[in-house]
Chain A
Amino acid sequence: MARVHSRRDFLRAAAVVGGGATLAACAATPAPAAGTTTGGTEAQAPAEAPVGIPKIRYLTDWYGGARGELTSQFLGEFAEKFPDVATVSYEPAPQVGERLLVEFAAGTAPDIFLWSFTDTPEFKEWLLDLKPFFEVDPEINEPDIIRQHPIFYENGQILALPFQGLFFGEEINVDLFEQAGLPMPWEHDHAGDKWWNWDDFVEAAVAINNLGDDIYGCTLGNDVDGPNWFQWVYSNGGSYWNPDTFETTLASNEATLEAMLMLYKLMCEIKVAMPSEDYTVMAESLGISPEAAGVVGIPRRLEEQGAAAAEINVHRVGIARAPRTNSFMSNHNHQPNCISSKTPYQQEAWELGKYLASTEVQLAIGLNGTSQPCRHSAIESPEYFASQPAIAKEALVEQTQKGEFYPIFKGWREWRTEVRPIVEKLFFCEGDPVDALKEADEVGTAILKRYNEA
C-alpha cells in the first residue's frame, strides 16, 4: 500500500529544498576578469587576483557620469601599469561619509577612500600617517602638491594624499559683460594693479542687472559656509571664529561684519543678487541651475552644471579685491584620498593613492573639467593653461596660492547646521542683519565651546 505523504512531509521537503537553495545562492560567485571595473553605482566584485597579490578596497563618491568614467579609467590604468601591486575593488558610494562611519565602527573599513576634511577632527585616528611614505618616495613631490587642508598636517603628520581640487573664485558671463559694455576683470588698472576690486564688482552687478527683468547681476548663494560669503569674508581679512577661544565672530570681528554687510547690501538694498528663494533644492537636483535658465550675470560656480555650462560663455576668474585688504582669498575645498590606519596593505594603498595624486592623473582630472588638479605641475602645465582663458591664467595661479579652507573643528557640522538658519535671515532680507549675526555668534559659540572645551 503506497504511503500517504502528510503535510508535515511536504513541509520538511520544502525546508530542505529551500535551505539548500539558500546555501547554493550564498556560495561565492566567480569574480569578473581583472580590469573590468565600470563607473556604475554598484560595488564591483574584486577580480580574482593571482596568488600573492592583495585586493584592496577603494571607496569613493566619484560614481556615475564623467567622474565614474574617470575613476574606472584611472583604476584600469593602474592595473595595467602596476599589475603586481594590487587589484582594486572600486566601491562607489554617494554618501561616503556615512558609509565610512558605519564601516569603521564595524571594523570593515576600506583600505583607501575619498575623505571629507570636515570629519577629520573626530576620526583622525582612523587615518594613516603618510609622512614616512612621503619621506622615502621621491615620486610624490610634496612641494608640488597644492596645499591640502591644514588639519591634515597637524602634529607633524601627513594624513592625506591629494586627489580632487576645488578653488572657488568667481565666474563671469562674458557675453553679458560685453552686452553691458563692461571692462573684463583683468582690464581694470588700479595704480598698476590690473585686477577688479569690490567697487568694480558692484558696478558690474548693477549694470548687468539692468539689462533685463530676467537677469540678475550676481548670484551669491545662500549658505553661510558657501564659497561666496566665505571667500569675501576671508578676503576682507575676516574670520568666522576665534581659534583660541572658540568664539564665533560673525558680528564681533570687524572685517567679517564689514564683508557680511557688503553682501547684504548687494542682496537686500541694491538688490542686484539673485534672491535666496530662487535657490531651490529641486533646481539643483534636476540640474536646472539659475545659469541654465538664463538668469545669470556673475554666477556662483558651475562645476555641476555640465551641459548647461556649455550653453553660455562663462569663464572662471579670481574674485575681486576686497576693500580692507585689497587682496582676495579663494575658497579651497579639496578632497583627498586617505588610507585606513587599520589596513594590512599600507604599501599597496599608498601606491594607488600616489598614482591618483600623480601629475598625469591630476591633469586628466583638470582637462576633464569635473574638478581641478591638486598639483602645481598639472595646474601650470601647457595643456591645462591651454584649456583656460588666456588672460585668466595669472589669476588661476594666484588662486591656487592664496587659498583659505573652511575652518575645521569639532562640532563643525552642528555649528554649520544651527548657525545657518540664523544667518539665513540675511539671505532672505529679514530683520536687522547685525542682530542676526550677533545671535549667530551666541549660538555658534555655545556649540563650539561644548565640543572643544573638554
Chain B
Amino acid sequence: MTAAQVPASGAAPAPTQKRGLSRRLARDLTGWAFISPWVIGFIGLTAFPFLFSIYLSLTEYSMAAPPEFIGLENFRFMFFEDRVYWTAMRVTWTYAAIAVPLGMVQSVFIALILNQRVHGIAFFRTAFYVPGMISSVGWMLVWTYLLSKNGAVNWALALVGIEGPSYLNSTTWALPALALMGLFSVGSSMLIMLAALQGVPEHLYEAVEIDGGSDWSKFWNVTLPQISPALFYNLVMSLIGVLQSWQAAYLMTEGGPRNATLFYGLHLYRNAFQYFRMGYACALGWVAFMIILLLTGVNFLASKYWVFYEAD
C-alpha cells in the first residue's frame, strides 16, 4: 500500500485498499506454496541437521544412548590427543596440493585442445566429458585393478623397461596414484574452461597479432586473464571438493597402507559409523567446514589480484 493510499484519519482502509492487500497476500501465499516443498526439504534435511550438528559436536553421542553434553572436550581431544587427526590433515592437504593444480592445468590444457575448429571435435569433447558421468564407484574399482602390481599401468611401463610398484600397497605411491586417478574425471571443469575459452573476444587476439605477439603472448596476456573467472570458480570448487573427498580411499585402500591415504573424510566417517562417536565426528565436520570456509574467504580476497571480470 502506498503512502497515498493510507487514509489520514487512520480509519479502516477503503475497500480498494483491502482488495489490494488480499491480492498481494494471495500472491505471496501462492508463491510460498509453490516453493514450500523445497523450503520444507531444506529446513528438514539441510538446515536442521546443519544446526543440530553444532550441538552434537559438544556431546558424546554413540546413538545407543542420548547425547551427553561434554563441552569442548571433543575439540580438545582432536587437537591435543588424536594422533590420527594430524595424519589425516597431512594426507588430505598433500592430496590437495597434488590434485588441484594438476586438475586445473589439465582442464585448461584439454579445453584449449578441444577449442579447435576441426572435424570430429564434438566426438572428442564427448569422449573427454563422459568419464565424469560414470559412477565413481565403478571406475574406482577399475582403477584398483589398473594400479595393481600386474595391472595395465605396470604393463604399459614394462613396455619401456620400467618395473612399476604395487601402487596402492606402497606408502610412497598410494597417495600420488589416487591424485593422478582423479584426473580421469576432468569433464566438468574442462567444460567450464571450454565455455570460458569460447567467450574470449576474437578482436583481442587480433590486437596481439597486430602488435606482433606470439602464441604464448596471446595465451598469457589474453586467454588467461579472460578465463580467470572460470579458473577462479574451478579453483574454489576443486579445493572444496578435494578437501572433502574420501571415497577413493574408502573403496581402494581403506586408508592404507599404514595410513598413507587416510583422508580427513575417511577419519570422520570411521568415527561416526565404525567407532560410534557421532559427537566427535560432528566436531571433525565442523572443523573441516571452518577450514574450508576460511580458505574460500582467502581465495575470494586474493581473487582481486588475479581475476579480471569484463565489467572491470
Contact = CB atoms under 8 A, between A and B. Distances in A.
Interface of A: 11, 15, 98, 101, 104-105, 122-123, 125-126, 276-278, 280-283, 285-286, 411, 413-414, 417-418, 420-422, 424-425, 428, 443
Contacts of A280: 144, 148-149, 166, 168-169
Interface of B: 33-34, 62-64, 83-84, 141, 144-145, 148-149, 166, 168-170, 251-259, 270, 273-276
A11 B170 CA distance: 59
Given A277-B169, A421-B257, A282 B148 contact: yes
Contact of B64 (A104, A276, A418, A428): A104
Contacts of A15: 33-34
B257 A428 contact: yes
Contacts of B168: 280-281
Contacts of A285: 141, 144
Contacts of B251: 281
Nearest to B144: A282
Contacts of A420: 256
B141 A282 contact: yes
B44 to A, nearest CB: 14
B277 to A, nearest CB: 8
B258 A101 contact: no
A76 to B, nearest CB: 33
A98 B273 contact: yes
B258 A425 contact: yes
Given A11-B34, A282-B144, A417-B274, A277 B149 contact: yes
Contacts of B274: 413-414, 417
A428 B171 CA distance: 11
B257 A413 contact: no
Contacts of B257: 421, 424, 428
B258 A417 contact: no
22 contacts: A15-B34, A98-B273, A101-B273, A101-B276, A105-B63, A122-B62, A123-B64, A125-B64, A277-B170, A280-B148, A281-B252, A281-B253, A283-B148, A413-B274, A414-B274, A414-B275, A417-B274, A418-B84, A421-B259, A424-B256, A425-B258, A428-B257
A342 to B, nearest CB: 13
Contacts of B148: 280, 282-283
Contacts of B254: 281
Main secondary structure of the interface of A (DSSP, over half): helix
A276 B168 CA distance: 12
A264 to B, nearest CB: 16
A424 B253 CA distance: 14
A414 B84 CA distance: 11
Contacts of B273: 98, 101
Nearest to A8: B30
A122 B149 contact: no
Select the residue from B33, B168, B170, B257 with max chain A CB neighbours within 10 A.
B257
A295 to B, nearest CB: 11
A102 to B, nearest CB: 8
A372 B270 CA distance: 30
A422 to B, nearest CB: 8
Closest 8 CB pairs of A and B: A277-B169, A282-B144, A421-B258, A105-B63, A277-B166, A414-B275, A421-B259, A282-B145
A419 B253 CA distance: 16
B268 to A, nearest CB: 13
B281 to A, nearest CB: 12
A35 to B, nearest CB: 34
Contacts of B259: 421
B52 to A, nearest CB: 13
Given A126-B64, A280-B148, A424-B257, 14 more contacts: A101-B63, A101-B276, A105-B63, A122-B276, A125-B64, A276-B169, A277-B149, A277-B166, A277-B170, A280-B149, A280-B166, A421-B258, A428-B258, A443-B83
A344 to B, nearest CB: 21
Contact of B270 (A123, A126, A417): A417
Nearest to B274: A413
Nearest to B27: A8
A286 B148 CA distance: 13
A431 B259 CA distance: 17
Contacts of A278: 149, 166
A104 B255 CA distance: 28
A422 B276 CA distance: 22
Contacts of B255: 417, 421
A420 B255 CA distance: 11
A122 B251 CA distance: 26
Contacts of A98: 273
A286 B63 CA distance: 34
B307 to A, nearest CB: 39
Nearest to A416: B274
Contact of A421 (B64, B145, B169, B256): B256
Contacts of A443: 83
Given A125-B64, A281-B253, A413-B275, A286 B145 contact: yes
A388 to B, nearest CB: 34
A370 to B, nearest CB: 24
B34 A424 contact: no
A258 to B, nearest CB: 24
A442 B259 CA distance: 17
Contacts of B33: 15
A11 B33 CA distance: 12
B75 to A, nearest CB: 16
